[in-house]
């Protein structure tokens, strides 16, 4: 047999490289992260990613870094599939050899996955060069070996100036990248996805900067650093452990935050909670996985097959995963089809190795989906141990002992966080139950007081009978009979009298009364009633009958002419006790008979047919209108545990002689808030209003 005269080396055809690329990456963003990692491994302080997606079927993606660049020898290594970059770095004594993320020599296939036609430019301290790979249809067959070709004809892009200013580094320009199927939200979410691929320091180098152009109208090419969307302010409980060499988020260095957990049973709808932080256990509790790997692991020395291991990072449980509630705690919270915070991201040498660990722990329950974390476990890619990455390079072989060890370390931490979140839920439930009991007691107390006032209004009934009725009725309420706890003021007025109604409403609002505490159809800028499809009469009736409502009637000739005002008066008379209403009368002759109960009356129009803020009108507004409204609303706030409203102060002016002596008028002694609102809302309308009113 004739012996071979020379070797027969393996070669990679274009078809083989295409198949490898398709198997390695599931989407463009995963491939892009590999190219960013190459820049970081080259010692770059800045890696720029530019996406021009104006035509998504033929997008352009550029990656520019300011690393060391590649010499001619480095280019020859670059085209070698399987070149061990980490081993080479250690052999050449590179300063960042221990931080190099890649060791398989296949990350360069990411460019081939994204584009069949790309340019590579590099600047090295010794030289610089430009290269092109064109494997488009008709340019190279599947059997041919693709190759980089030196070129001086690199197409112009928006990053030309950026590249010209870069002393050393590498630039990849990938043309005709297919991004069809990736909508605007997916492309806009690229920043957080890129940020999640790496553990980088906050507000320091190295940085990844991104610029996306998705429409013709966008002309701004400014780059912004990518940022993670970790809502640390929404994490109720956190377990963490960092060494001096680890990247620790700034939010975990300062004092724990105070956050709110949604609790509709409590005042304000939230339960205030101080974020709790603990440390990863040095010797984790027993787990079912320890037995499987007992022969490989020395727990006391923390070694796996003689190799030291360490779990660092943080894991937390969210207070809530409802977008609205979580964003109230931390506006960075995002949960949608493009981003799910419920994941444990596992990093190796600062690069994301897997985001599927949470689903692999086998933990179920309500709060399993509230877990988020970022942990480092470099044992998974230790140089002295076999490679356990799956064929797509985006996860690990779940059956390997190192992954089993990781689960044994993490599962107790996650389980403890879930237990603590469950305990917090029980605390909130107990607080809600206690609050309900307090509200019920307070509501029944308020009911008892209101009933006493109503009965005392009936002077024709003897005190003994009134006391007996009070005792009998309140005794029946002590059981499970619900008492209305929603206290409200209803301003009943004709539209022609809206200036006076707005005056009352604005004064109440200036004291901190909420809009929902006052039903008022003429509030400036309000559209709720206009958008309500129900009949106005239905809305009015519900606001009178469904809440503990104090009705205020602004009576006038206009009131008598309005069918809605008469409806409101009739509904109030039929459904409320006779003492539970307030009035302000424009004149004595316009008071409806069913609203006259024999008590003294106050009119807005004075004896001289004029309207002015007289002392008796001012004091009536305070004592007979505003403060009774505030007192009523405060009863509801006491039940709800809310902040009480400050009443208006009743002022007494000195004699006319004393005021003359001091050069003052009665208005100088009035509540200045009432004076200010009167001057703005009433005085400017008086002349026109009186002219029309007195014609009738």
Residue 589 is assigned to a structural domain of this protein: yes
User: How much of the chain, in percent, has pLDDT values that exceed 70?
Assistant: 80
In a 3-state reduction of DSSP, which class is residue 303?
Answer: strand
How distant, in Å, are the alpha carbons of 14, 78, 143 from that of 82?
A: 16, 9, 20
Quote the pLDDT of residue 601.
Answer: 75
Residues 394 and 536 in one domain: no
Q: What are phi and psi of 630, to 5 degrees?
A: -65, -40
Q: What are the tens digits of pLDDT across the range 52-82?
A: 999 999 999 999 999 999 998 888 888 776 5
Residues 509 and 389 in one domain: no
How distant, in Å, are the alpha carbons of 21, 32, 81, 328, 443 from that of 28?
A: 11, 6, 20, 33, 61
Cβ atoms of 319 and 261 closer than 8 Å: yes
Residue 466 is assigned to a structural domain of this protein: no
Residue 553 is assigned to a structural domain of this protein: yes
Sheet holding 297-298, edge to edge: 297-298, 303-304, 307-308
In this structure, of 200-214, 433-447, 622-636, the range with the lowest mean pLDDT score is 433-447
Cβ atoms of 145 and 9 closer than 8 Å: no
Residues 252 and 389 in one domain: yes
- Give the chain's radius of gyration (CA, Å): 38
| Burial class of residue 554, CB neighbours in 10 A (0-12, 13-18, 19+) | buried
Would you say residue 373 has pLDDT above 80? yes
Quote the pLDDT of residue 535.
Answer: 47
Quote the pLDDT of residue 527.
Answer: 45
In a 3-state reduction of DSSP, which class is residue 323?
Answer: helix
Cβ–Cβ contacts within 10 Å for residue 512, how many?
15
Nearest C-alpha neighbor of 114 from the set 214, 57, 32:
32
Quote the pLDDT of residue 540.
Answer: 54
Question: Which contiguous run of DSSP H or E holds residue 62?
Answer: strand 59-65
First-last CA distance in the chain: 129
Q: What are the tens digits of pLDDT across the range 241-271?
A: 999 888 899 999 889 999 999 998 888 889 9
CATH of the domain at 113: 3.30.565.10
Nearest C-alpha neighbor of 199 from the set 331, 373, 332:
373
User: How much of the chain, in percent, has pLDDT values that exceed 90?
Assistant: 42
Q: Which of 401, 421, 441 is the last residue of a domain?
A: 421
Q: In which domain, by residue range, is 254 found?
A: 232-421
Residues 589 and 678 in one domain: yes
Helical segments of 303-400, H only:
323-329, 357-360
Pairing of strands 344-348, 371-376: parallel
Cβ atoms of 491 and 552 closer than 8 Å: yes
DSSP structural state of residue 101 = -
In this structure, of 154-158, 507-511, 590-594, 661-665, the range with the lowest mean pLDDT score is 590-594
Would you say residue 411 has pLDDT above 90? yes
Residues 388 and 519 in one domain: no
Residue 5 is assigned to a structural domain of this protein: no
Would you say residue 111 has pLDDT above 80? yes
Would you say residue 570 has pLDDT above 60? no
Assign 103 a pLDDT band (cuts: 50, 70, 90): very low
d(CA 645, CA 439): 18
Residues 56 and 101 in one domain: yes
Number of domains in the chain: 3
Q: Which of 421, 447, 468 is the last residue of a domain?
A: 421
Residue 441 is assigned to a structural domain of this protein: no
Residues 246 and 311 in one domain: yes
Would you say residue 506 has pLDDT above 90? yes
How distant, in Å, are the alpha carbons of 429, 614, 621, 654, 672 from that of 666?
A: 55, 8, 15, 8, 11
Cβ atoms of 622 and 648 closer than 8 Å: yes
Cβ atoms of 485 and 640 closer than 8 Å: yes
Residues 86 and 217 in one domain: yes
Would you say residue 363 has pLDDT above 70? yes
Question: Which contiguous run of DSSP H or E holds residue 519?
Answer: strand 518-519
Assign 88 a pLDDT band (cuts: 50, 70, 90): very low
Q: How many residues does the chain have?
A: 696
Residues 201 and 278 in one domain: no
Mean pLDDT score of the chain: 83
How distant, in Å, are the alpha carbons of 8, 97, 152, 492, 496 from that of 571?
A: 100, 83, 88, 11, 21
Q: Regarding predicted confidence, which is higher, 462 or 133?
A: 133
In this structure, of 124-133, 230-239, 491-500, 534-543, the range with the lowest mean pLDDT score is 534-543
Average pLDDT over residues 211-223: 81
Q: Which of 174, 198, 225 is the last residue of a domain?
A: 225
Would you say residue 524 has pLDDT above 50? yes
Nearest C-alpha neighbor of 467 from the set 443, 446, 451, 483:
451
Residues 573 and 599 in one domain: yes
Residue 562 is assigned to a structural domain of this protein: yes
Residues 101 and 27 in one domain: yes
Q: Regarding predicted confidence, which is higher, 281 or 99?
A: 281
Question: Which contiguous run of DSSP H or E holds residue 490?
Answer: strand 487-492
Quote the pLDDT of residue 160.
Answer: 94
Which range, 385-389, 489-493, 624-628, is most confident? 624-628
**CA angle 271-274-275, nearest 5°?**
115
Q: b/e string for 614-652 if b means 16 or more Cβ within 10 A? A: eeebbbbbbebbbbbbbebbbbbbbbbeeeebebbeebe
Quote the pLDDT of residue 184.
Answer: 81
Residue 219 is assigned to a structural domain of this protein: yes
What's the farthest any 2 CA atoms get from each other in the chain? 138
CATH of the domain at 633: 3.40.50.10140
In this structure, of 224-228, 447-451, 516-520, the range with the lowest mean pLDDT score is 447-451
d(CA 502, CA 508): 10
Residues 311 and 404 in one domain: yes
Residue 496 is assigned to a structural domain of this protein: yes
């Amino acid at each position: 047999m004739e012996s071979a005269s020379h070797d027969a080396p393996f070669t990679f055809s274009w078809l083989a490289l295409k198949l490898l690329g398709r198997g390695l990456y599931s989407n463009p963003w995963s491939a892009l992260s590999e190219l960013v990692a190459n820049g970081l491994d080259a010692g770059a302080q800045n890696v720029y990613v530019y996406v021009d997606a104006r035509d998504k079927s033929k997008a352009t993606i550029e990656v520019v870094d300011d690393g060391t660049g590649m010499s001619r020898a480095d280019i020859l290594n670059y085209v070698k599939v399987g070149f061990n970059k980490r081993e080479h770095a250690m052999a050449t004594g590179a300063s960042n050899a221990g931080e190099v993320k890649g060791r398989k020599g296949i990350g360069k296939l990411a460019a081939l996955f994204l584009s069949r036609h790309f340019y590579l430019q590099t600047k090295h301290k010794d030289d610089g060069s430009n290269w092109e790979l064109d494997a488009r249809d008709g340019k190279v067959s599947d059997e041919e070996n693709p190759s980089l070709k030196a070129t001086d004809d690199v197409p112009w892009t928006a990053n030309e100036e950026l590249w010209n200013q870069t002393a050393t580094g590498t630039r990849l320009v990938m043309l005709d990248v297919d991004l069809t199927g990736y909508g605007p939200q997916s492309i806009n979410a690229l920043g957080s996805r890129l940020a999640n691929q790496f553990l980088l320091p906050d507000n320091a180098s190295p940085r990844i900067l991104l610029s996306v152009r998705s429409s013709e109208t966008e002309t701004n090419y400014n780059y912004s650093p990518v940022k993670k969307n970790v809502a640390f302010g929404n994490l109720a409980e956190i377990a963490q452990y960092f060494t001096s060499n680890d990247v620790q988020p700034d939010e975990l260095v300062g004092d724990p935050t105070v956050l709110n957990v949604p609790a509709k049973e409590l005042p304000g709808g939230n339960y205030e909670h101080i974020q709790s932080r603990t440390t990863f256990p040095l010797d984790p509790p027993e787990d079912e996985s320890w037995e499987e790997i007992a022969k490989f692991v020395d727990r006391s020395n923390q070694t796996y097959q003689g190799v030291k291991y360490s779990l660092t990072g943080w894991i937390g449980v969210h207070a809530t995963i409802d977008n609205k509630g979580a964003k109230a705690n931390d506006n960075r919270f995002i949960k949608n089809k493009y981003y799910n915070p419920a994941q444990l991201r596992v990093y190796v040498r600062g690069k994301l190795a897997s985001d599927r660990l949470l689903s692999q722990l086998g933990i179920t329950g309500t709060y399993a989906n509230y877990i988020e974390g970022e942990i480092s476990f470099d044992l998974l890619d230790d140089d002295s141990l076999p490679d356990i990455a799956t064929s797509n390079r985006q996860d690990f072989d779940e059956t390997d002992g190192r992954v089993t060890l990781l689960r044994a370390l993490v599962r107790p931490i996650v389980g403890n966080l879930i237990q603590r979140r469950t305990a917090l839920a029980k605390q909130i439930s107990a607080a809600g139950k206690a609050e309900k009991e307090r509200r019920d007691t307070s509501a029944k107390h308020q009911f008892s007081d209101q009933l006493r006032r109503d009965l005392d209004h009936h002077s024709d009934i003897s005190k003994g009978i009134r006391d007996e009725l009070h005792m009998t009725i309140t005794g029946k309420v002590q059981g499970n009979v619900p008492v209305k706890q929603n206290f409200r003021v209803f301003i009943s007025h004709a539209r022609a009298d809206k200036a006076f109604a707005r005056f009352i409403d604005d004064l109440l609002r200036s004291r901190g009364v909420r809009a929902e505490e006052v039903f008022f159809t003429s509030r400036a800028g309000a559209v709720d009633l206009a958008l309500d499809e129900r009949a106005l009469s239905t809305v009015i009736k519900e606001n009178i009958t469904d809440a503990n409502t104090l009705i205020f009637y602004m009576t006038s000739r206009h009131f008598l002419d309005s069918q809605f005002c008469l409806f409101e008066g009739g509904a109030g008379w039929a459904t409320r006790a006779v003492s539970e209403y307030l009035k302000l009368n424009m004149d004595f002759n316009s008071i409806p008979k069913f609203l006259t109960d024999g008590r003294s009356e106050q009119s807005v129009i004075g004896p001289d047919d004029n309207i002015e803020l007289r002392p008796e009108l001012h004091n009536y507004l305070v004592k007979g209108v505003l403060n009774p409204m505030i007192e009523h609303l405060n009863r509801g706030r006491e039940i709800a545990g809310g902040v009480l409203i400050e009443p208006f102060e009743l002022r007494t002016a000195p004699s006319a002689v004393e005021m003359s002596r001091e050069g003052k008028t009665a208005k100088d002694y009035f509540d200045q808030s009432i004076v200010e609102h009167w001057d703005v809302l009433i005085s400017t309308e008086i002349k026109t209003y009186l002219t029309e009113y007195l014609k009738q």
